[in-house]
Structure 1
Amino acid sequence: MTRVLVSVRDAVEAQVAAAAGVPFIDLKEPSRGALGGLDPAVIAPIVAQLRTSAPQAVVSATIGDWPAEAADEVAARCRAVAATGVDHVKAGVVPGGAALALLRQLDALRRTEGLPIVPVLVADDGVPWALVDAALAAGFELLMLDTVDKRGGSLLQRCALADLQRFVAASRAVRARPGLAGALRAEDWPQLAALAPDFAGFRSAVCAGDRAGTLSAERLLALLRMSAGAAQA
């Protein structure tokens, strides 16, 4: 069953998600970009709070939007976010000349330091197959597709359905758990359920206003009901 991932920006929104029973809670600051990061000093107490209020939930956090060339900054941020106690550290990888080198560095941090890193591969212009193949060959346990420009349509509008099916199948073939995100809408759920990724990420669809607005408990519960209904169908 595909799990719902919901991104939250503070302790209040985290509690809304916990009360609703969200299975995968992601910590980020949407006003700072697609993978806008919260300060680790902010992340740590939210994680501690969620371990009590939502002990079954998986908790992740982003490191922020960094260019692939900023290798030292990316490594430092990954270490700082991992130290907050999250289950997964999400690090964006934008296709380009330095992307494969960054992916190799993230893999080294995972292997040598045990950091629970999830590469988030940017798919604004379609599935970046070279990065997907490299990440799967490296053996990352979780792998995610996302978009940077949230105004340009959802991931399902930017990537061919056959490519998304191939991404999920290729991940499953090596026992990696694939995730999909990128301006996803509640009405996308039936198609997402058919694709059957391990998780699907939402922010704007469960906010009052755009993704930088406030998390809406009503919209969140509606999405969770839809996902539960699809799982039982």
Structure 2
Amino acid sequence: MSKLLISVTSAEEALLALEGGADIIDMKNPHEGALGALPHSIVRQAVEAVDGRRITSATTGDLPMQPELICQAVMQMKMTGVDIIKVGFFGSERDNMACIHALQPLIAEHKLAMVAVLMADIAPQLTLLPLLREAGFWGAMLDTAHKDGRSLLAHMSEQELREFVHLAAGMQTGLAGSLNIENIENIVKMKPSYVGVRGAVCEGLDRVAKLCKSRVSALRVLLYNYNKSVESADLA
């Protein structure tokens, strides 16, 4: 059953997402790119507001794939108390692999729950998935780097998304990227561990506008119904 991840920008929005029924509350700055990082103080405030009632996550930013820089960002974000730390993989295969190898001992030593985010619109390297699993990553996620109105489904076919979920077996899987109410039903059919949303639950469907609790609640109900339909189809 796919769970609901809602991206928020503040402690206030974190509480709205919580009350609306989000399973994972994700701290991200939509003004700073696909994986824009919020100030550590705001992440910390949001984590404290959620107070363990939901899983929390936070992005480290749209960073160049330099192992020392990535590791430093991860350890700084760890200090906020957030449950899951998300790192975007934007570089060449060589640079991405170097960052994975650098993060592996940190994951083991500090028991970090980490999610690798691959970008569907800039040639996602699915060959990294076995390496991420071996390195101890908690999960892997597909998102879109360019927020130009095109959704994840405009960049990857349903078959390709199924392949991603299959190759990431053994980790939690997430699908996101300008998803709206109309295409989330198809996304659930891919059976990801969670579905990530921001714009679809904001006022005016604008990802940089304020989060709307009623939209979160409505999506929560739809997601539940979509999950039930998938389960029924599997039993048929």
TM-score normalised by L of structure 1: 0.91
| Percent identity (aligned) | 33
The amino acid of 2:70's aligned partner reads V
SS in 2 for 1:215: coil
Contact 1:127–1:164 (CA under 8 A) maintained in structure 2: no
Partner residue in 2 for 1:45 = 45
Unaligned stretches of 5+ in structure 1? none
Which residue of 103, 111, 116 maps to 1:106? 103
Match of 1:194 among 172, 180, 189: 189
Partner amino acid, structure 2, of 1:78: V
Match of 2:189, as an amino acid? A
Instruction: Give TM-score scaled by structure 2 length.
Output: 0.90
Which residue in the other structure is 2:4 paired with? 4
Deviations 1:54-96 (A, max 9, x none): x1x1110111110103x32221221111121111001111141
CA contact (8 A) 2:152 2:177 kept: yes
The CA RMSD over aligned residues, in Å, is: 1.7
- Work out whether 1:79 is the aligned partner of 2:75: yes
CA distance in 2, matches of 1:168, 1:61: 22
Which 5+ residue runs of structure 2 have no aligned equivalent? Answer: 230-236
Any conservation in 1 of the 2:29–2:36 contact (CA below 8 Å)?
yes
Which letter does structure 1 place at the counterpart of 2:28? K
1:125, 1:159 within 8 Å by CA — same for their partners in 2?
no
Distance in 2, Cα, partners of 1:170 & 1:116? 19
CA-CA distance at 1:118 after TM superposition: 1.2
Give, in angstroms, the shift of residue 7 of structure 1: 0.1
Q: What amino acid does structure 1 have at the position aligned with 2:100?
A: L
Aligned residue runs from structure 1 range 80-229, under 5 A: 80-96=76-92, 97-151=94-148, 153-172=150-169, 175-209=170-204, 210-229=206-225
Q: Give, in angstroms, the shift of residue 126 of structure 1.
A: 4.3
Partner of 2:232: none
Report how far residue 179 of structure 1 moved: 0.8
- Native 8 Å contact 1:95 1:131 kept in 2: no
Task: Give the length in aligned residue pairs.
Answer: 227
C-alpha displacement of 1:133 = 3.4
